Structure 1
Amino acid sequence: MNLIHRKICSSEKWAATVEERLAPWLKDRDLGDDVLEIGPGFGATTKVLLDAVPKLTVLEIDPASTELLRAKYGDRAEVVEGSGAEMPFADRRFSAVVCFTMLHHVPTRALQDAIFAEAARVLRPGGTYCGSDGQLNFRFRLLHIGDTMNVIDATTFPGRLEKAGFAQVSVDVRPRELLIFSAVKPG
């Protein structure tokens, strides 16, 4: 992340916005008893998830962010440093896998696809993979100058998730250019 992006994503204002948007969305979902969050960054989404799920594991690739997450939430969540494309977890461990506004930071389509496949691998049958990501607009592009920005194409995303092993795929682009998705690992 570039400096501006880091400043925004670590701000109290961002954390409040995330809570305002994510908490109602989570109330409509049963994520089960053991949830994995991929790429929590500074932990704004993690904070909200901790109040909504019984058990949370977070997987973060950035060492500095991992240490920050351990300091903030290590007493309430299992914090693991590692890549979503090569998850250090057993097959069928989690009831749900979630990721919020992080997929566009994955530099290649192949690595994104590896994350989808790994999410399917670590999910129990009937488990849900869901989350959100930004979509291309002028403000989003400005925020990512000098930063990784590999935006998910909403038209090809369902097929990519199906190829990774998911069914019941739902992809919706909402106002403000936000992509919301969910998929289920077949039983």
Structure 2
Amino acid sequence: MNESHLSYLASPAWAETLRTDLLPWLRQVADLGDDVLEIGPGPGLTTDLLLEVAGKVTAVEVDHDLATGLRERLHGRDVAVVHGDARAVELEEGRFSAGTCFSMLHHMDSPQVQDELFSRLHALLRPGAALLGVDSIDSEMIRQGHRDDTYVPVDPGTLEDRLRAAGFTDVTVHRPNQHQFRFHARKPAPFS
């Protein structure tokens, strides 16, 4: 992630945007439960919000420095920060009450790698658990902000089919504004 982009993601302005935009949506769309998995927290402003609405958070961050900084900053809170690639880190399958990925999918190397993450998330979630995410809509402005970064935009028009292919149901993808899309889905619960 380039320094300019990283600085913005750690800024008070971004924290306020998350608090006024993302947090109400999280509260409205699903009960996150007692054990939430967050993929790609970066500097952790989204982790701070998750700790307000969930019992425990496990944050998986691929960048060593970001993971170390987040672990140090949140020491003593009910969060475990795991350094590694979420597709491969050792976590208990079927454990998590919800999964989240906020503005990080476009930092993955390819659509195939993104799909591998969706399949892994399906395995890690409990039956009936929600998957929630937000990502940016591809535009020249977003591309400029990701100069010298990995930038593989997700096409919101294909995301529903991709999540269904990973095993999710009740998939909803919507665009609340011209800059981002949001999605939520559910791992099916077995019939009783």
TM-score w.r.t. the length of structure 2 is 0.94
Structure 2 CA distance for aligned equivalents of residues 9 and 31 of structure 1:
23
What is the DSSP-based 3-state SS (H/G/I as helix, E as strand, rest coil) of the residue aligned with 2:53?
coil
Structure 1 CA distance for aligned equivalents of residues 154 and 83 of structure 2:
24
Q: Which stretch shows the higher mean deviation, 146-155 or 18-27?
A: 18-27
2:102: which partner in 1? 100
What is the DSSP-based 3-state SS (H/G/I as helix, E as strand, rest coil) of the residue aligned with 1:68?
helix
**Pairwise CA RMSD of aligned residues?**
1.1
What is the DSSP-based 3-state SS (H/G/I as helix, E as strand, rest coil) of the residue aligned with 2:156?
coil
What is the DSSP-based 3-state SS (H/G/I as helix, E as strand, rest coil) of the residue aligned with 1:174?
coil
Structure 2 CA distance for aligned equivalents of residues 27 and 170 of structure 1:
16
In the TM superposition, residue 49 of structure 1 has moved relative to its aligned partner by 0.8
Structure 2 CA distance for aligned equivalents of residues 64 and 90 of structure 1:
25
In the TM superposition, residue 173 of structure 1 has moved relative to its aligned partner by 1.8
**Which runs of 5 or more structure 2 residues have no equivalent in the other structure?**
none
2:15: which partner in 1? 15
1:85–1:112 CA contact under 8 A, matched in 2: no
Equivalent position amino acid for 2:22 in 1: L
What is the DSSP-based 3-state SS (H/G/I as helix, E as strand, rest coil) of the residue aligned with 1:35?
strand
What is the DSSP-based 3-state SS (H/G/I as helix, E as strand, rest coil) of the residue aligned with 1:51?
helix
> What fraction of aligned residue pairs are identical, expressed as a percent?
40
Structure 2 CA distance for aligned equivalents of residues 175 and 168 of structure 1:
22
Structure 1 CA distance for aligned equivalents of residues 175 and 27 of structure 2:
20
Deviation string, structure 1 residues 138-181 (Cα, Å, up to 9, x no partner): 22111011111111111111111111111111111221321100
1:145: which partner in 2? 147
Which stretches of structure 1, 4 residues or longer, exceed 6 Å deviation after superposition? none
Structure 2 CA distance for aligned equivalents of residues 23 and 116 of structure 1:
22
What is the DSSP-based 3-state SS (H/G/I as helix, E as strand, rest coil) of the residue aligned with 1:176?
coil
Structure 2 CA distance for aligned equivalents of residues 166 and 74 of structure 1:
33
1:30: which partner in 2? 31
Structure 1 CA distance for aligned equivalents of residues 143 and 72 of structure 2:
31
1:47: which partner in 2? 48
1:60: which partner in 2? 61
What is the DSSP-based 3-state SS (H/G/I as helix, E as strand, rest coil) of the residue aligned with 1:151?
coil
Deviation string, structure 1 residues 89-125 (Cα, Å, up to 9, x no partner): 1110001000100000001111101110010000011
In the TM superposition, residue 32 of structure 1 has moved relative to its aligned partner by 1.2
Structure 2 CA distance for aligned equivalents of residues 74 and 60 of structure 1:
16
TM-score w.r.t. the length of structure 1 is 0.96
Structure 2 CA distance for aligned equivalents of residues 39 and 74 of structure 1:
18
What is the DSSP-based 3-state SS (H/G/I as helix, E as strand, rest coil) of the residue aligned with 2:88?
coil
Structure 2 CA distance for aligned equivalents of residues 87 and 164 of structure 1:
18
**Which runs of 5 or more structure 1 residues have no equivalent in the other structure?**
none
